[in-house]
Amino acid sequence: MDTAQQFATGMSGASTRLSVMTSGSHSQPPHDAAGFATDTSFELLKPLGEVTDPIASHSGEGDRETRLTQGRVGVLKTPHGNINTPAFIPVATKATVKTLTPEQVRSAGAQAILSNAYHLYLQPGPDIVDEAGGVATFENWHGPTYTDSGGFQVMSLGVGYKKVLAMDSKVSEDKVIAQQKKRMAIVDEDGVDFRSVIDGSKHRFTPEVSMQIQHQLGADIMFAFDELTTLANTRKYQEASVERTHRWAKRCLEEHQRQTELRSHRPLQSLWGVVQGAQYEDLRRQAARGLVQLSEEAEAEGKRGFGGFGIGGALEKENLGTIVEWVSQELPDNKPRHLLGISEPDDLFTAIAAGADTFDCVAPTRLGRRGGVYTLDGRMNLSNARFRRDFTPVDAEVGGYVSENYTRAYIHHLLRAKEYLAGTLCTLHNLHFMIKLVDNIREAMLQGRFEEYRAEFMGRYYGPGWEQRLG
């Protein structure tokens, strides 16, 4: 079956699932009346096992080189439904995936969405979301939800980089800040002082405040408050930051326990620790081991530990797989792993093989709002003049609502006319593309043909030399 057929029809004939329940106990987790788990757990279905190193094998030197991966297929069970992993999680920053309704997001195949504690704290306020019944009810999303801690936004917006942080590892500067920007976030041992990007008002986040906000937001999965550094920070600062994030994680666990007891009228929420450490192997492994130890100590006392782990922080694209693999090797097999923010289709193959179960990314939606779309033959921008009389679908082989109903010429017209519908259609197509791609990777893993599917997709999308993108 070729790449196009896989996108159009999906894959079938999945391998027999392994009888491994990895929720931290030997019994199935309890379920509510609707059949959903009352607490979040992870079930391992099949490990990816050994795969060929495409770079070494492509060089033509000697035999094919294989390596044992940390990738796996599983099911993440939450109080609001299950997530078949690996899975792509669309970003609904302010309780909305920009330009789309929740129904459209679901139609694209999304199993869960991720919202942002920082932005929802500033507007409309966590008390309003709580009063509505939680973020899922508030935005009419019928499925699992994530919220991040707000740490990334506090720090990235606080140093003027908006969506990204300084990614130049050749610079060494602990007071890094974007040019012509004023620092809006100051870190101390207790937490972070910052100014709102909306009106400049002063605020303070601590681990306890982040936990209180996220409990009010009510997502199934939330992340511990951490300090996000940049690759420009010195090694000495990275060491201090990892230790500080460890202490903050302990405080998050303590506040999470307190909030869980106070809010027994709400569904249980799962707190995930976040592994930092930049590009340093020893710091990444140290951070991961430390979080596992904190979780085990809490559970030994009869308290809630970490239900899973996030892999965060600034990293260089070429080191993505290596860093995720370091961390995955240190984390327990019975806990899910979420990679906080990725970029392109090649990152999906790299992250999945390295051990990421779920991952979020704003690229498909941000790209779509600018007229950019994914196709099996690579990315293109429909605002370009060459699409003015192109009456073909965006990608007939990929399919989906947009390609089945609209032409490139029509979307080009909408973009040139600055009509809002342009962003909606491009975003909907991109989400369908990315979610379907990950679904197909999952099926390929179950069928034992991950390498074959990777070569088929990457060879067509990126062309000759695609192996080097997995470096």
Active site members? 148, 360
d(CA 118, CA 145): 16
Is there a contact between 240 and 165 (Cβ–Cβ < 8 Å)?
no
103's CB contacts (< 8 A; 6+ apart) are none
Provide the pairing of β-strand 87-90 with 72-78: unpaired
d(CA 173, CA 375): 40
Q: What are the φ and ψ backbone dihedral angles of 321, each rounded to 5 degrees?
A: -65, -40
Burial class (CB in 10 A: 0-12, 13-18, 19+), 84: middle
Quick one: residue 84, left, alpha or beta (phi over 0 = left, psi -120 to 50 = alpha)?
Answer: beta
- 3-class DSSP state of 248: helix
CA-based nearest residue to 344, from 355, 359, 354: 359
- Could you tell me the two tokens for 237? 């600062």
d(CA 65, CA 101): 46
464's CB contacts (< 8 A; 6+ apart) are none
- 3-class DSSP state of 192: strand
DSSP element (H, E) containing 50: strand 50-52
- Could you tell me the two tokens for 185? 């976030």
CA-based nearest residue to 242, from 205, 283, 292, 295: 283
- 3-class DSSP state of 129: helix
- 3-class DSSP state of 64: coil
- Could you tell me the two tokens for 454? 């990777």
Which residues share a beta bridge with 44? 20, 74
- Could you tell me the two tokens for 294? 């904190």
